[in-house]
Structure 1
C-alpha cells in the first residue's frame, strides 16, 4: 500500500498548532514564537515532511528559483577557474535559504529570446549575473530592469554589484616588484572591454606613475581574455624588445602561467631571468613551477556577498543598486626575486 505524503495538517495535528501557524513557521514569519517554531520544526523532521513546491510557491508568492547568467569570453564555460569558484560559493549561500539555481541559454521554444524574456517566462525571483564584458547588451538590459539582480565582476549604477578591488591589487603587485628592486616592469593586460582588465591596467599605470617609473608603450601588451595563450603571445612580444623588462605583472594567473611557459620555451627561466606576478590565486598557481606569486581574490567572499545582496532585494521586494568591493591580498611564492 502506498504511503501517503505528510501534509501541514498532519503537522498541525501532531503539534496542536493551527495549519496557518505551521505554514507561517515553515516560512519563517516573525509573528510566530520561537517555542512554536522549535516544536513545529521538530515535528517536520520527525515526520519527514517535504513541502510541495507548487503549494509553497502559491503560499509565499515566490518561485524559490534564482536565474544565473554566466558570460565568459574564453568559451570554456564552467571550467573557468575564477567564475567557477564564485558561482559555487554563491550556490552554497543561497541553498541554505532553499533556493535553486536556473542556468539559461537564449533559446526558448526554439526561438532566440533575451535573458530577461527567459527569466520572466520562468518567473525567477532574482538573477545573478557573472560577466566581465562591459559591452554585453543583454546583460545591460537585465541590470536596468526592475527584476532583483546582482552582478559579479562588473560595475553599474542600475544594479547591485560585487567585485574585487582590482586597482589595489595592481598597486600591491607593482609595489612588491619595486621593493624587490625592479624598475623595468611590464604589464600583460586583460581585454580592454572587461571591467577587471580596465581597472587592473589603471591601477598599474597610476602605481608606476606614483613611483616615478617610466612605462614605455611597448611594455603594455594585450593578453586578450585572460588566457594562457594570450599570456604566451604577450610574453613573446616582450621578449622581442631590444630592452627587456626585468619583471612582468600579468592581469591573471592564467596569463602569468602562459608567460612562464613562453619564457621557458625561449631558454630563459623564472625567476632567475624574469620575475612574474599574477592575479586571482587560482588553484593551479600553487602547483606550477615555480609556484606563482599572485594577488588573491577571495572568491568565497564574492559569492557570499552577492547572495546576501540579492536575497535582501528579493525579501524586501525592491531592487537596489549597492556596490561592494572585496579586498585582495598579496600571496608571495617563488616566481619573483630581488635584483
Structure 2
C-alpha cells in the first residue's frame, strides 16, 4: 500500500510538506501542491482515514443542512445544483459530506448538537427562510460555517445579487415598451423574496413608473401553484398588466399555465420574465426569458470560503455576492 512516505520520496519533498499540501495549508506554494497531487494520482495514494484524523485533528467531514419551504429537499433544482458544485470543490481536498437528520438516538436534537456529536470540521447551510432558529444557532456558533441564499452578520454567506437581477428584469421589459409591469413576489419570510421585491420597486421607481400595489401579488414559497394563483388574480384585474416579472422560474411557469388556461398566449398577450434559469426554462414553450443564478459559482465560492476557515482554524464572517445574468429567450415581446 502506498504511504505518505512514498509520495515524499517520489516528489523529493519532506513528509511534512506533503502532509501540508494534502491538507491545503496556505504556506505551500501552488506549484508544490500541483506536483504532490500529481504524484498522489499517479501512485493511487489513498490516506488511511483513522490515521489521518489522529494526525490532523480533523474529521474530514463537512455537515450539510437544507432548509427550504417546498419540502423538495435535495430535489430542489437550485439547491441541488449548488450543492453539486460545492461537493466537487471540497472533494478535491478529500472532504466527505454529511447530510443530517435531526433525529439522533430516537431523540430530537438541534443541527448544532448533531454536528458536534459527529465532530464535523465545518457546516454548509442552504437556506431560504429568514426566521429559522436552528440555522441562526449554527451561524452564531464558533464552528466554521457558510450559508447560501441568506444574509448574516455572524457567518460567511454566499448569495446571488437579487437586486441587480430585478433591475435587469424590469429594465428589459421597459426596453420592450412595457409600463404596466407586475411582480409575482416570493414569500417575504425568505431572503430572496424580500430582495427581489425590493429590487422590483427600486427599479420601477428608477424608471419613473408608478408602483401600483395591485400589480404586486404574493406567490408564496416560489411554487408553480403559487404562480398560477397569483396570475389568476392579475388576470382578474380591470386593467391587467402587459408584463410580469416573477421571483422564480417556478412562479413564472405557473403564471404561463394560468395565462394559457384562460385562452391567452405568451408572449403575444403577456410577456414573462422569471428568475433562476432552471433546466426546464430553456426546454419549455415558449422558452423562458429569465435571470440566471450562477449555481456552479455559488457552490464553488461557498466551498472555498468554508475550506479557508477550516484550514486556518478560524471562523470568518464574509459576504460574497454572485452576479446574475439576463437570459433573453422567447417569453417577451415588444409592444
> Where on the TM-score scale, by shorter chain, does this alignment land: which range?
over 0.9
Larger radius of gyration: 1
1:268-287 alignment, distance < 5 Å? 268-287=264-283
Q: Could you tell me which residue of structure 2 aligns to residue 326 of structure 1?
A: 322
Find 1:109's aligned residue among 100, 105, 108: 105
> Distance between the aligned counterparts of 1:190 and 1:50, measured in 2?
46
Q: Counterparts of 1:64 and 1:258 in 2: how far apart (Å)?
A: 42
Q: Does the CA-based 8 Å contact 2:79-2:126 persist in structure 1?
A: yes
**CA distances 1:133-160 after superposition (whole Å, capped 9, x unpaired):** 0000000000000000000000000000
Q: How well do the aligned residues superpose, as a CA RMSD in angstroms?
A: 2.4
SS in 2 for 1:158: coil
1:309 aligned onto 2:305: yes
Is contact 2:24–2:93 with CA below 8 Å preserved after alignment? no
Write the distance in 2 (CA, Å) between the matches of 1:7 and 1:130. Answer: 37
The alpha carbon displacement at 1:329 in A equals 1.2
Which of 289, 296, 307 matches 2:292?
296
Calculate the TM-score normalised by the size of structure 1: 0.92
Q: How does 1:210-289 map to 2 (within 5 A)?
A: 210-289=206-285
Post-superposition shift, 1:49?
A: 3.5
Report how far residue 61 of structure 1 moved.
Answer: 1.1
Query: Residues 39 and 221 from structure 1, CA distance in 2 versus in 1: closer, same or farther, beyond 3 angstroms?
Result: closer
Cα distance, 1:215 vs structure 2: 2.3
| Distance 1:237-1:22 versus aligned 2 partners, 3 A rule | closer
Aligned to 1:136: 132
Match of residue 68, structure 2, among 68, 72, 85: 72
How many residue pairs align between the two structures?
Answer: 335
- Matches of 1:178 and 1:28 in 2, distance apart? 49
- Do the aligned partners of residues 19 and 269 (structure 1) sit closer, same or farther apart at CA in structure 2, a change above 3 Å counting? closer
Q: Is the 8 A contact 2:170 2:204 kept in 1?
A: yes
Q: Give the direction of change, closer, same or farther, for the CA distance of 1:177–1:66 in structure 2 (3 Å limit).
A: same
Structure 1 residues 18 and 253: alpha-carbon distance in aligned structure 2, compared to 1, 3 A threshold: closer
SS in 2 for 1:55: helix
CA distance 1:27–1:274, change in 2 (3 Å): closer
Distance 1:13 1:115 in 2: 43
Which whole-Å CA distance do the structure 2 matches of 1:126 and 1:201 have between them? 33
Q: Structure 1: which 5+ runs fail to align? A: none
2 CA distance for matches of 1:205 and 1:248? 13
**1:210 and 1:28, CA in 2 relative to 1: closer, same or farther beyond 3 A?**
closer
Change (3 A) 1:39 1:243: closer
Q: How does 1:5-20 map to 2 (within 5 A)?
A: 5-8=1-4
Unaligned runs of 5+ in 2: none
Alignment match, 1:100: 96
**1:76 Cα deviation after fit:** 1.0
Cα drift, residue 63 of structure 1: 0.8
**Farther-moved stretch of structure 1 (302-311 vs 11-20):** 11-20
Partner of 2:177: 181
Q: What CA distance in whole angstroms lies between the structure 1 residues aligned with 2:318 and 2:167?
A: 25
What is the aligned partner in structure 1 of residue 47 from structure 2? 51
For 1:88-120, what per-residue CA distance to the aligned partner results, in whole angstroms no more than 9, with x for missing partners?
111111111111110001111111000000000
Scaled by the length of structure 2, what TM-score is found? 0.93
